Structure 1
């Protein structure tokens, strides 16, 4: 399972420091929505200079997909995100633009029923992110169990929301390709040690 490090609610300089501390243990860096809103494309440019590995921008696109996706891809993003609750037309444009730029895209499932999530099979190139929102009650175990018992998707899968050293082992061998981890790493006194510990607790080999 890959580790996606979500960077939110910090300065770009702090984000650079966290990347430097954790880079040996992570696989994808995420420029979180708050960083994008605070620092825009200039901030993305700075992160791209710092980190040479896969870089995701959490756009949460719901409209203007061609413009938003094209902009972040041109500034170095490898993956961009869209909200699954948007229209099928918008998601189709996301898929087309990602293909045009030879990049990837992720669909965030916040606010979607499991029945609706299963309709995302029509976007076979998308990574589907099963997401426990920051404002919701519940646990990563709850959302993983609910999803896994009812999903019919064959897409690559990510899981996000409250993942930390304390619960990461539960996700071993569950079939998720990416674990998205924010404060479970960045909220520690030593993000580098937290990321290293999480990596050690994962039994799945890193995916190519």
Structure 2
């Protein structure tokens, strides 16, 4: 069964933990968004892992260089996953993967901004990453004509473990599941909902 990941794009540790507390029964992975980590620093990773030791904590660093160094920073703080940008040199990804092996943690490659996400997913999967995030960022999603169906089709064709991030909601979750993605990443569909717990519960049930 695909795992459900909540992307927390709030800006304070207090708000992030409050949201995670509401949705924890229904999610598998807690993603600390890039703006949150930039706002609060490494301490938010430690705080989240201490609050939810049974959940995987996903540090969305979007690392572009010094892969081994930034991976170690994230893992020492308590992260289970770190993201490395797919557009970077393979050496950056390989360095992070090597560090992940030392800490028994994992690397996820984020394909935001990559023109051919399927091709890059297939390439970086050979470097030992846990899975590849087929990701349309908020700015891409805001463009006229954007559809998550693009990511769903890419996941179906990738042939490697992928997650889908970019508009996952209750209307698209069935197709996300059908695509074979190993993780469904929901952000606004959960934290923007009137009842985040109910929204997370509905998504989790749809993945079952």
Check whether TM > 0.5.
yes
Q: Which of 63, 81, 86 is the matching residue for 1:79?
A: 81
Aligned mates of 1:198, 1:107 — CA distance in 2: 24
Mapped to 1, the partners of 2:164 and 2:155 lie a distance apart of 10
- The superposition leaves residues 16-47 of structure 1 with CA deviations (integer Å, 9 ceiling, x where unpaired) of 11111111100010111011000001222221
Distance (Å, rounded) in 2 between the aligned partners of 1:124 and 1:90: 12
Q: Is 2:24 the partner of 1:26? A: no
| 68-77 or 45-54, which deviates more | 45-54
1:83 Cα deviation after fit: 0.3
In structure 2, the residue matched to 1:172 is 177
Deviation of the 1:116 alpha carbon? 3.2
Q: Is the 8 A contact 1:132 1:139 kept in 2?
A: no
TM-score by length of 1: 0.91
Instruction: Give 1:176 deviation, angstroms.
Output: 0.6
Q: Where does the alignment leave 5 or more consecutive residues of structure 1 unmatched?
A: 204-208
Q: 2:148 aligns with which of 140, 143, 168?
A: 140
Structure 1 residue 173, shift from structure 2 partner: 2.7
Task: Please give the TM-score of this superposition, normalised by the length of structure 2.
Answer: 0.91
2:92 counterpart of 1:90? yes
- Residue 147 of structure 1: CA displacement? 4.4
2:97 and 2:128 in contact (8 A); partners too: no
Residues in 1 aligned to 2:92 and 2:134: alpha-carbon distance in whole angstroms: 19
- The 3 A distance-change label for structure 1 pair 172 and 43 is closer
Structure 1 residue 63 corresponds to structure 2 residue 68:
no
Rounded Cα–Cα distance in structure 2 between residues aligned with 1:30 and 1:50 = 14
1:14 aligned partner: 15
Which range moves more in the overlay, 111-120 or 182-191?
111-120
| 1:122 has 2:123 as partner | no
The equivalent residue for 2:56 is: 54
Q: How many residues align?
A: 200
Over the aligned positions, Cα root-mean-square deviation in angstroms equals 1.4
